[in-house]
Each structure stands twice: as structure tokens, then as C-alpha cells.
């Protein structure tokens, strides 16, 4: 599936494609990452403190797609576009062999989800080995995102939006519309974790297993739309949930469990080090007393506090690793117009967090720098 184009296309078209690459959407990814803790064993007690930040950063990988042209193909694999998959039920796990056979352009167009998952696992294990806990947490969050994408049936097929079977639009209806509406009904428990002997096999096998849910999902969409007479009513979503609830719960449960099992395996392979460093800063707070624009920004960032922050204020920009990238201190009262200018021209493009500290507390927002 050609989801990224080398030629210039309309911005609105890019937005539509981005929406189709959102995996389980923010709600689903948050839930899957957060519930990995349900499968932690006694030796993983130290990882419980990661749970909230794993959830907070569950969609970082989706956000990178807005500025990183290499990110998009990591979120899917149109595995049924490979000749022989339907007959054999598998493809080569060696991406070099596939590139030699089909060429890089074809392989990239089909998506590289399983290899991105393995690469992220390797990065996580490397962080454990050198006890770089802040980066380990972020790689674990990314790992959870890719694992979750591998458990979303429409991310592993060429028929990703039902366009070949008369189910146009099913992608967002299922992953976002239905999941958001019935999120509270997606309930599951954990399962025991073991060390995975062969991680590539493990990743490819769950993709093959989850491929079997594509036809039941499309059949559920047909049933719900036929009975409800539309694909937008509450009744349609009620019927879609009734038909898919069992395997949707299974997909979520398996995604959370497999994330826990991959984290456990990476940690054991690294020698089971004990966390003895400062945890990743809690940058994502619920209170937001300011906004910043443009966002994405390039050279200068304007901070609008709407006169809601009184007295001294310190604005700090953190990078994804939790390191301070820039700090701007406003001594005294915020100006009458409520606007501050920040020079960000020296910062590389990427995802950041801007945190405001005042006498009354902290608030934060995400910031994307793109050029």
C-alpha cells in the first residue's frame, strides 16, 4: 500500500493518511501500554512505577509521523501483498532477503512493522544493559505502540480500510469510533510472562495469528451496517461491538501481555539490572494554563498564558529523553498581553515538552519542532 509519496501532495490528503495509520488510536494505545503491568511478575515489581509514563508516551510514535518520513512504514505491514503469503501463511523474516527479491521500494510500501518492533526491542535491551532508564522507558513505550499495531487486524493487511470488500471506512470506525465508545467494556486480566526464546518468531507469529481476525471484523461490519442501515448511528456501533467484543478484548489482552513479555525478556537478556536511577520526569500533567503556537514550530515559539499565570514563571523545554533543552525565565509578572517569545532556532526538530513552573504549580504541553 502506497501510504507515503515522494512527490508533493495536498496537506489534507496527508492528514487523511495519517489518520489511517493511528493503530488503535490514542485511547487504545494508552490502555494497552498501561495494562502491560497486569502481566508483571514478582521480579518486575520495579516496573510498576513505569506504568503511567508508558501510557502517557504510548502515542509518541504516531506523533513522530508528522515530521519523520521514515516513521510511517513502521506502523503496518500489508503482508498479503507478498506473493505466496495466502498459500504459505508466512513470509521470510529476513528483510534483506525480501529486499533482494522484491526491492526496497516494494518492501517499504508494504510496511516494516515486524522489523521495527524487533529493532525497538533491541534498543530497549541495549538501554537495560547500560542502565539508561530514561531512554529505556521511552523505548518500552514505543515497543508497546508497535506491538499494539501488530494486534490491530487492519494494520496487517492490504485491505486496511475495507476498500476491497465494500467496507470503506471500517478502519476508523473500529479502532476509534467503537473503541472510544466501548472503552470501559474492554476489560481483561494479565497472564504469566516467560522469557521469549526467539523474538523474531514471536513477533511474526502473533501477526500471523491476528491476521485471522480480519474476516470476522469485516463480517461484523457488514452485519452491523445491514441491520442498522448506516455506519454512523449509535445502533451501528452497538451491533459492531456485540459482534467483535470477544476478539477485541482478546487482541487488547494479548497486546498488553506481549508487551510485558517483551519487556521482561529484554530485561532478563540484559542481566536483570535493578533500577537505581532517577525516573523519567513526570512532564505530562493534566493542568494546562497556557498554550503555545505555532505548533509545530520552527524558529520562534509564542507562549500565550491568557493572563492565567501570575507572578514569576519559568518555562523549560525538555526533549524526549527528559533532558533540559532550553529554559526561559520570566521574572516578575506576565506582560499585560499575556504573550512570551521563545527562540527555539537552535533546537533540532523533534518532539519536546514545554513545562511552566509558577508559585502555584506546574503545567505542561507537548511541542513539535519541524523544519
| Per-residue confidence (pLDDT) for residue 179, from 0 to 100 | 94
Residue 331 has pLDDT above 50, yes or no: no
Burial 208-233 (b: 16+ CB within 10 A, else e): eebbebbeebbebbbebbeebeebee
Give helix 234-269 / helix 214-228 axis angle, nearest 10°: 160
More confident position, 23 or 74: 74
pLDDT at site 328: 63
Looking at residue 333, its pLDDT comes to 41
11-269 has which CATH code? 1.10.575.10
The tens digit of pLDDT for each residue in 88-139 reads 999 999 999 999 999 999 999 999 999 999 999 999 999 999 999 989 999 9
What is the tens place of the pLDDT at every residue in 222-262? 999 999 999 999 999 999 999 999 999 999 999 999 999 99
Residue 9, pLDDT score: 38
The per-residue pLDDT for 6 is 38
Query: What integer pLDDT is reported at residue 306 of this predicted model?
Result: 54
Instruction: Kindly report, residue by residue over 139-191, the tens digit of the pLDDT.
Output: 999 999 999 999 999 999 999 999 999 999 999 999 999 999 999 999 999 99
Whether 85 has a pLDDT exceeding 70, the answer reads yes
Looking up cell 481483561 gives 188
In the chain, where does the domain assigned CATH 1.10.575.10 lie?
11-269
Sheet holding 350-358, edge to edge: 324-330, 313-319, 350-358, 361-369
Q: What is the pLDDT, as a whole number, of residue 3?
A: 46
The band of 354, judged by pLDDT with boundaries at 50, 70 and 90, is confident
Q: What is the CATH number of domain 291-369?
A: 2.60.40.1930
183-211 pLDDT, tens digit per residue, is 999 999 999 999 999 999 999 999 999 99
Label residue 17 by pLDDT band (50, 70, 90): very low
- Where does the pLDDT of residue 11 fall: very low under 50, low under 70, confident under 90, or very high at 90 and above? very low
The residue with cell 489518520 is 19
Task: Note the pLDDT tens digit of each residue in 94-105.
Answer: 999 999 999 999
Q: How far is CA 177 from the centre of its chain?
A: 17
pLDDT 10s digits, 261-314: 999 999 999 999 998 644 444 544 444 456 777 878 888 888 776 545 556 677
On average, the pLDDT of the chain sits at 85
Q: How far out from the chain centre does Cα 270 lie?
A: 24
Residue 30 is predicted with a pLDDT of 92
CA–CA separation, 177 and 271 (whole Å): 42
Ranges of CATH 2.60.40.1930 domains, the chain: 291-369
Amino acid at each position: 500500500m502506497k501510504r507515503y509519496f515522494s512527490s508533493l501532495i495536498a496537506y489534507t490528503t496527508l492528514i487523511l493518511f495519517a489518520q489511517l495509520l493511528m493503530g488503535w488510536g490514542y485511547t487504545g494505545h494508552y490502555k494497552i501500554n498501561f495494562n502491560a503491568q497486569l502481566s508483571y511478575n514478582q521480579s518486575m515489581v520495579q516496573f510498576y512505577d513505569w506504568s503511567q509514563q508508558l501510557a502517557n508516551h504510548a502515542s509518541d510514535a504516531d506523533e513522530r509521523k508528522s515530521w519523520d518520513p521514515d516513521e510511517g512504514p513502521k506502523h503496518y505491514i500489508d503482508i498479503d501483498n507478498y506473493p505466496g503469503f495466502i498459500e504459505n501463511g508466512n513470509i521470510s523474516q529476513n528483510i534483506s532477503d525480501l529486499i533482494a527479491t522484491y526491492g526496497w521500494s516494494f518492501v517499504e510500501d508494504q510496511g516494516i512493522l515486524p522489523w521495527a518492533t524487533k529493532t525497538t526491542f533491541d534498543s530497549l535491551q541495549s538501554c537495560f544493559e547500560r542502565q539508561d532508564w530514561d531512554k529505556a522507558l521511552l523505548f518500552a513505550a514505543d515497543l508497546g505502540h508497535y506491538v499494539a499495531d501488530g494486534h490491530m487486524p487492519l494494520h496487517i493487511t492490504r485491505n486496511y480500510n475495507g476498500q476491497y470488500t465494500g467496507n470503506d471506512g471500517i478502519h476508523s470506525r473500529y479502532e476509534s469510533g467503537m473503541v472510544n465508545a466501548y472503552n470501559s467494556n474492554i476489560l481483561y486480566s494479565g497472564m504469566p510472562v516467560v522469557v521469549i526464546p526467539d523474538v523474531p518468531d514471536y513477533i511474526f507469529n502473533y501477526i500471523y495469528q491476528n491476521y485471522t481476525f480480519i474476516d470476522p471484523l469485516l463480517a461484523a461490519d457488514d452485519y452491523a451496517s445491514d441491520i442498522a442501515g448506516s455506519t454512523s448511528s449509535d445502533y451501528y456501533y452497538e451491533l459492531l461491538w456485540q459482534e467483535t467484543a470477544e476478539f477485541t478484548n482478546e487482541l487488547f489482552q494479548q497486546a498488553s501481555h506481549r508487551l510485558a513479555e517483551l519487556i521482561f525478556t529484554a530485561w532478563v537478556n540484559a542481566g536483570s539490572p535493578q533500577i537505581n536511577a532517577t525516573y523519567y520526569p513526570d512532564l505530562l500533567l493534566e493542568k494546562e494554563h497556557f498554550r503555545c503556537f505555532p505548533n509545530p514550530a520552527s524558529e520562534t515559539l509564542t507562549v500565550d498564558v491568557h493572563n492565567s499565570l501570575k507572578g514569576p514563571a519559568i518555562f523549560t523545554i525538555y526533549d524526549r529523553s527528559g533532558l533540559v533543552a532550553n529554559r526561559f525565565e520570566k521574572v516578575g509578572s506576565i506582560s499585560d498581553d499575556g504573550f512570551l517569545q521563545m527562540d527555539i532556532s537552535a533546537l533540532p526538530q523533534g518532539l519536546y515538552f514545554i513545562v511552566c513552573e509558577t508559585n502555584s504549580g506546574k503545567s505542561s504541553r507537548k511541542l513539535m519542532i519541524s523544519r
